[in-house]
Structure 1
Amino acid sequence: MIPYSIPYGRQSIDQADIDAVVEVLKSPWLTQGPTIERFESAMAERCQADFAVAVCNATAALHIACLAAGLGPGDRLWTTPNTFVASANCGRYCGADVDFVDIDPHTWNLDAGLLAQKLEAAERVGKLPKVVVAVAFSGQSCDMQAIAGLAERYAFTLIEDAAHAVGASYDGRPVGCGAHATMTVFSFHPVKIITSGEGGMVLTNRPELAERLRRLRSHGITSDPSQMSVPSQGLWYYQQLELGFNYRMTDLHAALGLSQLARLDGFIARRRQLAARYERLLAELPLVLPTAQAGAESAWHLYVVRVRFDQVKLSQRDLFDALRTAGIGVNLHYIPVHLQPYYRESGFTDGDYPEAERYFDEAVTLPLFPDLTDEQQDYVIEQLRSLLG
């Protein structure tokens, strides 16, 4: 009999969250109402940003962030291969070409040094990117200071995909503050740091970007007379200024997200406590444990280890199967994006980004979420010891 069934991640919902959603259900506004603005204002204040624009999910947030940056056909977007496919797909949605920069062998984030080399080579042939999406993998920012310096030098828009990093900080300021990235994208999927069920948000300090992001999330429509091509005919009047999307968040989702935001500090504290226990209790196993990026304080959305399979008797598949049979829902973040069939059709192949590929061959994502108990974590560690020791 399996003593546990432990996922790699799970939401934490309490009565206050339920009450917040029920309150909206009893209100006149289920969507396009005041709770969305309250959630946006609270996130902007928390992150020390000027503007926050809520949308239906983080993929939509990435899409409109790229559009607001002016990305289109003939342009190029670069990102890391060690991410979920949305970090690259947002470029393809805009008709742009997508390329990748390999990962740092220590932090497993986009390597700023390799980015600098690739930018120098791209400048010589006139193929610089218009957008670089720097992913805060597992909750830890990249070397954002270095990447921001490159953005200024080579005139690309820096978007931080911080889907994993709500509550994280960099250089002593909250991720999302806009000190380095032009726009920052958050996710509120159930396995992320806080959840709104589904949902995402773009944060920026530039009013013109915030204005366009709001328009793009709602069909490209405005009710602002100052933006119209002809005078407004009344309070009911609107104009579609561009091709936008129905990417709006509902008040139901915003109510849950706003309630969860009140618990963010507790969530982060528990995740950091669990990560510290893993670091201490796994130290003697044949594993490579996560390494901190200078200046970054992780939100610990994920706890990923790399297994030294040359020192153990089982394969990666054997380890996954054994742990899942033991009731531990380990996962793998991520399959390198360039090896997905869709991107192989564009000419990417094995060996293009060797560090990301080596990482993929060794990585295991262990359970980490606020409601994970010490007893459950001890069980995960015990199973690892029995298989790898």
Structure 2
Amino acid sequence: MIPYGRQIIGDEDIAAVEAVLRSDFLTQGPVVQRFENAVASRVGASHAIATNSATSALHVACLALDLGPGDLLWTSPITFVASANCARYCGADVDFVDIDPDTFNICPDALQAKLDEAARKGRLPKIIVAVHMCGQSPDMARITPIARAHGVKIIEDASHSIGADYLGTRVGDCSHSDITVFSFHPVKIITTAEGGLALTNDAGLAAKMDRLRSHGITRDADLMTHAPDGPWYYQQLDLGWNYRMTEMQAALGISQMTRLDDFVARRRALADAYDTALEGLPLRLPKRMEGANSSWHLYIIRLDDPTRHLAVFEALRAAGIGVNLHYIPVHLQPYYRDLGFGDGDFPISEDYYSRAISIPLHAGLTDDQQAQVVAEITKALA
């Protein structure tokens, strides 16, 4: 089976992790800080907070922006459930904005209309989570001023997008958002096994996320309610969580970062080859937004004929092509249906779901494997 995505682990990665296992620190320590610095320096952000998953990073990002009961968060229906669940963890409500049919990201026109209506009703969101679907940035040059005009905070869920750029800047620099989140799950561009990271240019937000990922505890005397009782002293200032990244994960991440550009270059070359090889088939290929250079976490085709969706998917799986589907619209999950969402709420997202198939794309995919994928797609559509 040719998988849709997989990690690439080399001898240098194994050596980096082994070195940590022979060191004095295993949980969060100096290697985690080195990894944070490496990512922040690479993308041009001031602060980076590493966590044990991107879901954890989204959660502490929401908390740092004071999301809580009675508040509202908006995101895209076409995303992994964590982009919405992070609000529910805070006791907040969730709503969605339909996608642009070409980019699969939040549609700026739909966002503008929905925000204007929400302003009239007096029920604006506190936060918008702008998802970078497949590795391509949303149209943040439009989204950010629309949100800012209504006083709405922005989190970029760039879980797919480390190594991408947008309008001449690197995704993650937070020039269009308050906080940006990356994921390092094994199928992402680089991996720390599990792991995530939140970036910000706001020192106050960084300090709060740092505290929240480690039980809400501080050892900084300047933040304490009174002078320390002694050198052993710490205080819990917030209700936090154990979301810390381990030293082993961080060591793997530092090693992987040295090959980030190579991984992204290979993914882009494979995406270009798919564009050429699949042209003319009865399907829609991914669109590239002007000014956005994707890191190509996913390559998603959409069938012209949705009635053949299941048959084509099953034929590809049977032929050894490990296709997948990213994603089932979040609002159609049973949990969110129970909150009042249902069929027809976000028709562009639902139409996308009826046609979409994620085909193999990762830096380890060979030219011969890609040719096999193309051949089987052509056969399945014949």
Provide TM-score, normalisation by structure 1: 0.97
Instruction: Work out whether residues 143 and 294 of structure 1, in 8 Å CA contact, stay in contact via their aligned partners in 2.
Output: no
Matched to 2:138, the amino acid is C
Deviations 1:170-218 (A, max 9, x none): 1111101011011000000000000000000000000000000000000
Q: Does 1:384 align with 2:377?
A: yes
1:119 to 103, 115, 118: 115
Instruction: Work out whether residues 139 and 302 of structure 1, in 8 Å CA contact, stay in contact via their aligned partners in 2.
Output: yes
Q: 2: CA distance between counterparts of 1:279 and 1:194?
A: 24
Q: Does 1:130 align with 2:126?
A: yes
Instruction: Work out whether residues 51 and 204 of structure 1, in 8 Å CA contact, stay in contact via their aligned partners in 2.
Output: yes
SS in 2 for 1:102: coil
Q: 2: CA distance between counterparts of 1:334 and 1:38?
A: 33
Q: Which moved more, 1:144-153 or 1:345-354?
A: 144-153
Q: Does 1:278 align with 2:274?
A: yes
Matched to 1:166, the amino acid is I
Q: 1: CA distance between counterparts of 2:28 and 2:73?
A: 32
Q: Does 1:348 align with 2:341?
A: yes
Instruction: Work out whether residues 141 and 170 of structure 1, in 8 Å CA contact, stay in contact via their aligned partners in 2.
Output: yes
Q: 1: CA distance between counterparts of 2:56 and 2:28?
A: 17
Aligned match of 1:18: 14
Q: Does 1:110 align with 2:106?
A: yes
Distance apart, 1:41 and its partner CA: 0.3
Aligned match of 1:316: 309
Aligned match of 1:296: 292
SS in 2 for 1:53: strand
Instruction: Work out whether residues 330 and 366 of structure 1, in 8 Å CA contact, stay in contact via their aligned partners in 2.
Output: yes
Distance apart, 1:12 and its partner CA: 0.3
Q: Does 1:328 align with 2:321?
A: yes
SS in 1 for 2:137: coil
Q: Which moved more, 1:132-141 or 1:319-328?
A: 319-328
Q: 2: CA distance between counterparts of 1:347 and 1:32?
A: 41
Deviations 1:89-113 (A, max 9, x none): 0000000100000000111111011
Unaligned runs of 5+ in 2: none
Aligned match of 1:180: 176
Counting only pairs closer than 5 Å after superposition, residues 240-279 of structure 1 correspond to structure 2 as 240-279=236-275
1:88 to 84, 102, 107: 84
Distance apart, 1:152 and its partner CA: 1.5
SS in 2 for 1:315: helix
Distance apart, 1:151 and its partner CA: 2.2
Aligned match of 1:76: 72
Matched to 2:179, the amino acid is M
Distance apart, 1:248 and its partner CA: 0.2
Deviations 1:222-257 (A, max 9, x none): 000000001012221100001000000000000001
Q: 2: CA distance between counterparts of 1:236 and 1:199?
A: 30
Q: What is the RMSD computed on CA atoms of the aligned residues?
A: 0.8
SS in 1 for 2:18: helix
Q: 1: CA distance between counterparts of 2:310 and 2:28?
A: 47
Q: Does 1:368 align with 2:330?
A: no
Counting only pairs closer than 5 Å after superposition, residues 165-244 of structure 1 correspond to structure 2 as 165-244=161-240
Q: 1: CA distance between counterparts of 2:289 and 2:71?
A: 30
Matched to 2:364, the amino acid is D
Residue identity over aligned pairs, in percent, reads 57
Matched to 2:48, the amino acid is A
SS in 2 for 1:23: helix
Provide TM-score, normalisation by structure 2: 0.99
SS in 2 for 1:291: coil
Deviations 1:317-361 (A, max 9, x none): 111111111111100000000000000001101000000000000
Q: 1: CA distance between counterparts of 2:343 and 2:147?
A: 29
Matched to 2:195, the amino acid is G
Matched to 1:341, the amino acid is P
Q: 2: CA distance between counterparts of 1:167 and 1:384?
A: 28
Deviations 1:119-164 (A, max 9, x none): 0000001000000000000000101011110121011110000000
Q: 2: CA distance between counterparts of 1:150 and 1:202?
A: 23
SS in 1 for 2:341: coil
Aligned match of 2:96: 100
Q: 2: CA distance between counterparts of 1:226 and 1:281?
A: 61
